[in-house]
Chain A
Amino acid sequence: MAEVVVSGVFKRFGPVAALSEIDLTVHDNEFVVLVGPSGSGKSTLLRIVAGLERQSEGSVTIDGRDMAGVAPKDRDVAMVFQSHALYPHMNVFDNLAFNQRIRGVDRKTVDARVREVAERLEITELLRRRPRQMSGGQRQRVAIGRALVRDPRIFLFDEPLSNLDAELRVRLRTVIKRLHKEMRRTSVYVTHDQVEAMTLADRVVVLRDGRIEQIGDPDTLYERPANEFVAGFIGSPAMNFLQGEAAGGVVRIGTVETTAADSLSGPVTVGIRPEDLLAEGAGDGASIRARITLVEPMGADTLVFCTTEEGQELTVRLPRYTAVRERETLSLTPRPGAVHLFDPETGQRLN
């Protein structure tokens, strides 16, 4: 059992508010990912949970116990850092065993535990190596191992994969996901990479400028983003935003119409994901016409960048076998029911 409750947390660095009004409950065994652009306060929030940073206001409780004044070592948390933060002069074995030795665990138990973790992470042959003698990926495996050996109530990850190259990042991501499936420990994971967030999380917390923009499972975040920021941040390539006009239960985007709530009227921002723009509906003339400026074949599908007659940039994800060429004109229609409407002023979702 380990439930983390963050309530009413503010963090100020002088006059700068790094976090404002953070309320978040991480349930037992849940994998929560904090995601946001740099400076959004996600690492600060994690460090407050770890006890490395003290909140200016509000409280953090773990399993109902208030953590005010509780040192990081007494919170039973383990943390994996971006820069691995291994002890440089110790070999892998000693790095893994360090915490257990400090805590006075007997030699045999430590030995067995280290070997078990090493096996699980496939780093047994590295046990005698020092950090400097390993590659970045190996070091980060060891850093994850150091957290595992402790068998803590809560795992904290502070951008653990950000320093690795793309291929390794994907590999270690699956390692982390598999470990979580096996061990089922409460985990909080910070990243700026929304793909990491989507693939790992049970629930994603999107932060911007120290505020929570939305909390939800990956599907909800993708299908029903609460506001324009989340809509633009989650998903790659990013969602397209177009100007629309709502009146009498219909939203008009150029010559295209989609249904909307009757109460809606006036200008709206229309969000359409690249894969929800369909190129086939050219028949009836009611379409968004856009000239192709660039084609990026991705293998599984093709990304098409184009410009509408109004000069708006659009990204369209087309199936692999669509024959398109640059300077051609596409007739696009949004997939019915996949249109997101936002208030152009507040950015809040309207449908």
Chain B
Amino acid sequence: MLDSRYKHIFLLPALLALVAIIIFPLIYTVRLSLSGWDVNFPELDYIGWDNYARAIADGRFWDSMGTLYLMVLFCVVFEYLLGFALALMLWKEVTAGRFFRVLFIVPMCVTPVVMAVVWRTIFHETLGPMNDVLGWFGIPAVPWLSKSGPAFAAVIIIDVWQWTSFMFILLLAGLMSLPREPYEAAQIDGAGPIRTFVHVTFPLMAPITLGALIIRLIESSKLMETIYALTSGGPGSSTETTSYLLYIRGLREFQIGYTASLSIIYLAIMIIALTIFARSMSRLMIGRQGPVRA
């Protein structure tokens, strides 16, 4: 058919772009992961599954995965709770609400590396204002960047600071688009603010919440710039996330083949984990989807 041939011609540029941007690098990475390409032998040879066997036995890789998940969990949970709380506060008309809405968006607009550098100064053990402020309340100086617990917390604080506004915007937009009538029905039924939240606001917001959570999960699991600029994965490897480890292995140590195999494993795990998460959350929050009718 003539028109079907045209269709393919018109689709071609997009397909080519897709191949160039996604398909080719992906396949090339898979191929790389089966090679021993490194600083000494930059060649696309074939060494079978050796890289994968090494990856599976690599404790530091799995530790970084654990660190990442823990970090992401804390970040997204805090961002969601704070963002939702802020959105609820600014949902109803508040004096200067517009001003606050804009103000909350500022952190999101700043380059992560720049902010991490600023925060590094803030968190500085002796010179940083953070410990000064804590000192006013009689809290002893915290070794923010030189002890694993505080360093871990510092990374989370920065991420929460920077990305809560994203949650806030999405959730506020969601809140503002909610229909008025269910609230009036609840009012007439005599539901108080808590019941109204539980039975009206939260369920009506479920689809938006789910979307916001998934977007943030994907985004925050790429956590890298902040760590690069703030802690360099340290102290030790206590704040070393997978993407930061991949950066070290790949671009500092130039173990290209091995890093490719790590990336592939990481990608597979991420896809599986996010799929399971999205499924179970949507079941939990929205409920089993029956046949939907208009």
Chain A residues in the interface with B (C-beta under 8 A): 47, 50-52, 71-74, 77-79, 81-90, 98-99, 102-103, 129-130, 132-136, 146
Contact = CB atoms under 8 A, between A and B. Distances in A.
Interface of B: 179, 181-182, 184-191, 195, 199-200, 203-204, 206, 286-287, 289-294
A89 B206 contact: yes
Contact of A87 (B179, B199, B289, B290): B199
A132 B292 contact: yes
A142 B182 CA distance: 14
Contacts of A51: 188
A87 B293 contact: no
29 contacts: A50-B184, A52-B184, A52-B187, A52-B188, A73-B187, A73-B188, A73-B189, A78-B188, A81-B181, A81-B184, A85-B179, A85-B181, A85-B182, A86-B182, A87-B199, A87-B203, A89-B206, A98-B189, A99-B190, A130-B290, A132-B290, A132-B292, A133-B290, A133-B292, A133-B293, A135-B293, A135-B294, A136-B294, A146-B185
Give the 4 A-B residue pairs with the shortest CB-CB distance, closest first. A73-B190, A89-B203, A85-B181, A133-B290
A74 B292 CA distance: 36
A72 B291 contact: no
A83 B183 CA distance: 12
Contacts of B181: 81-85
A129 to B, nearest CB: 7
Given A85-B181, A88-B203, A129 B290 contact: yes
Nearest to A84: B181
Nearest to A74: B190
B185 A85 contact: yes
Contacts of A81: 181, 184-185
Nearest to A102: B190
A87 B187 contact: no
A150 to B, nearest CB: 8
Contact of B293 (A73, A84, A134): A134
Contact of B184 (A85, A86, A87, A99): A85
Contact of A72 (B179, B182, B188, B290): B188
Nearest to B290: A133
Given A74-B190, A87-B199, A89-B286, 6 more contacts: A47-B184, A72-B187, A87-B203, A102-B189, A102-B190, A135-B293
A87 B294 contact: no
Nearest to A99: B189
A130 B291 CA distance: 10
B290 A79 contact: no
A130 B189 CA distance: 19
